Amino acid sequence: MNYTETLNFIHSFKGNGRRPQLERMRWLLKQAGNPQTHFPTVHIVGTNGKGSTTSYLQNILTKSGYQVGTFTSPYITRFNERISINGTEIPDKDLISLVEKAQVLLDDLEEHTAFDRPTEFELVTLLMFLYFDLKQVDMAIIEAGIGGRLDSTNVLSPELVICTSIGFDHTETLGNSLLDISNHKAGVMRENTPILLGRVSAEVEHFFNQKSHDLQAPLAVIDREIQLLPKDNQTIQVSYDHWESPDLKLPMLGRHQENNAGLAVTAAHLLTPTFPKITNKSIQDGICDTHWPGRSEWIGNNIYLDGAHNPQGIASLKQVLKDNFTNRKIHILFAGLRRKPLANLLEELKDYDITVTSFDFFEALPLDDYPQNFKCAADYREWLAKAESADSDDLFVVTGSLYFISEVRNYLLNERKT
């Protein structure tokens, strides 16, 4: 099996949709020797901010001298980046080898059980656990796919849990209220296992208070037990339980990034007893050197990529624009998925110069289906060309979907140069 055949095999499970079945996942892992129990983990859930928080924490641990696996989604440049160690994606040869190993387990599943075929995400989760076990990582930071309670990653006994935020996304699966969504996210909590919670509404905080009490799981919340002390010029200090971090220069814009960095830094502090190589310097260097493609990312001096794709993400983007760019004319290129409330998201951005477009993805909303009161770009590359050639101080923002950001980023950095 070559690399292309391997990817095609993995993606062939996409047709199985999103049918959560933890018992199927547990069966596969048991047959594989329960690799998920062979290394410490941090489990990260949340509507937004999982990727950035994962990246901050991974960088801190890597700067401290540890081998750190990360499991994230979706990918921005290449499938392999979803499974990485110290920021280096799984090599093609290892992915091919592990898929061949997984095929044996999948054949056994079909032959010896009544389970349906797993979903693509379940298969990728299995590959991730096998890879991190093979490479004997010191720590794995595992990002849930959707929700938490029924997510295929919810087979862990983590060192700690992080819930970055609670907002509206994937409501067809998680429910239409913040408490319904919170119930899914809180499903990854464990007895006596610390949980860190980002900025949330009062009702969500109350829900997690009760859940943590029931499980005797120590809870620390941003702006409550965890204080973020603003300095100047994108710099904060984190204070928690009589401990204070060094000053932390944040490389990504936004108040939401203060939340994400604060959670990662507090997690690093809590991990220090079992990971004693973590120091104030490795925390400081890890935060400063964090970059997360497609999230708060600059391409040149005037194109800004932001993967906002739900109400909370769009609100954070608006706050970034308000806090940092009030003196610049702002143009927005927007494309999203048909299953998202795009009309509502666009309404939130109506004060800016918006152009809608579409892109090459099976779930992308066709251009003709957008509200008619926005400018349209049949080819987003023309909009980008105008942005790059602009001699003004205007800011050109690309947003709406991480899948769209992936395509635009690949075009700007790779395709147009060939």
Q: Identify the domain boundary among 271, 288, 305.
A: 288
pLDDT for the residue 17: 62
Same domain, yes or no, for 304 and 262? no
Q: φ, ψ for residue 114 (rounded to 5)?
A: -95, 5
SS3 for 222-257 is ECCCEEEEECCCCEEEEEECCEECCCEECCCCCHHH
Cβ contact 161:63 at 8 Å: no
**Confidence band (pLDDT; 50, 70, 90) for 20?**
low
Same domain, yes or no, for 139 and 238? yes
Per the prediction, the chain carries an average pLDDT of 95
pLDDT for the residue 416: 63
pLDDT over threshold 80, residue 21:
no
Same domain, yes or no, for 58 and 145? yes
CATH number of the domain residue 43 falls in: 3.40.1190.10
For 246-303, what is each residue's pLDDT tens digit? 999 999 999 999 999 999 999 999 999 999 999 999 999 999 999 888 888 999 889 9
Same domain, yes or no, for 176 and 220? yes
Q: Distance between CA atoms of 155 and 27, rounded to whole angstroms?
A: 11
pLDDT for the residue 175: 84
**Confidence band (pLDDT; 50, 70, 90) for 13?**
very high
In this prediction, residues 14-41 reach a mean pLDDT of 90
Cβ contact 31:108 at 8 Å: yes
Cβ contact 52:72 at 8 Å: no
Nearest to 65 by CA among 275, 280, 248: 275
pLDDT for the residue 46: 95
For 315-358, what is each residue's pLDDT tens digit? 999 999 999 999 999 999 999 999 898 999 999 999 999 999 99
Q: Distance between CA atoms of 129 and 109, rounded to whole angstroms?
A: 18
Sheet containing 195-197: which strands, arranged edge to edge? 88-89, 83-85, 68-71, 139-143, 41-45, 160-163, 195-197, 219-221
For 96-118, what is each residue's pLDDT tens digit? 999 999 999 999 999 999 999 99
Same domain, yes or no, for 308 and 284? no
pLDDT for the residue 18: 64
For 365-418, what is each residue's pLDDT tens digit? 999 999 999 999 999 999 999 999 998 899 999 999 999 999 999 999 986 655
DSSP symbols for 46-83:
-SS-HHHHHHHHHHHHHHTT--EEEE-SS-SS-GGGGE
Tally of structural domains, the chain:
2
Residue range(s) defining the domain that contains residue 272: 3-288
Q: Identify the domain boundary among 288, 314, 334.
A: 288
**Confidence band (pLDDT; 50, 70, 90) for 16?**
low
Cβ contact 179:188 at 8 Å: no
Same domain, yes or no, for 219 and 245? yes
Same domain, yes or no, for 193 and 309? no
Region of 242 on the Ramachandran plot (φ > 0 left; ψ -120 to 50 alpha; else beta): left
Same domain, yes or no, for 345 and 266? no
For 124-138, what is each residue's pLDDT tens digit? 999 999 999 999 999
Q: Identify the domain boundary among 263, 288, 313.
A: 288
SS3 45: strand
Pairing assessment for the beta strands 297-299 and 330-334 based on DSSP bridges: unpaired
pLDDT for the residue 172: 76
- What pTM was computed for the model? 0.94
CATH number of the domain residue 364 falls in: 3.90.190.20
Q: Which residue has the higher pLDDT, 60 or 147?
A: 60
CA angle 51, 54, 58 (to 5 degrees): 140
In this prediction, residues 156-160 reach a mean pLDDT of 98
Same domain, yes or no, for 201 and 322? no
pLDDT over threshold 70, residue 8:
yes
In this prediction, residues 183-200 reach a mean pLDDT of 97
In this prediction, residues 181-201 reach a mean pLDDT of 97
For 216-234, what is each residue's pLDDT tens digit? 999 999 999 999 999 987 9
pLDDT for the residue 167: 87
SS3 289: coil
Same domain, yes or no, for 381 and 340? yes
In this prediction, residues 83-94 reach a mean pLDDT of 98
Same domain, yes or no, for 337 and 243? no
Nearest to 32 by CA among 112, 104, 121, 110: 104
**Confidence band (pLDDT; 50, 70, 90) for 173?**
confident
Same domain, yes or no, for 269 and 345? no
Q: φ, ψ for residue 220 (rounded to 5)?
A: -130, 130
Q: Distance between CA atoms of 170 and 20, rounded to whole angstroms?
A: 14
Helix, strand, coil share of the chain (percent; to 5): 45, 15, 40
Positive or negative, the CA dihedral 319, 305, 178, 140 is: negative
pLDDT for the residue 14: 86
Helix (H) or strand (E) holding 142: strand 139-143
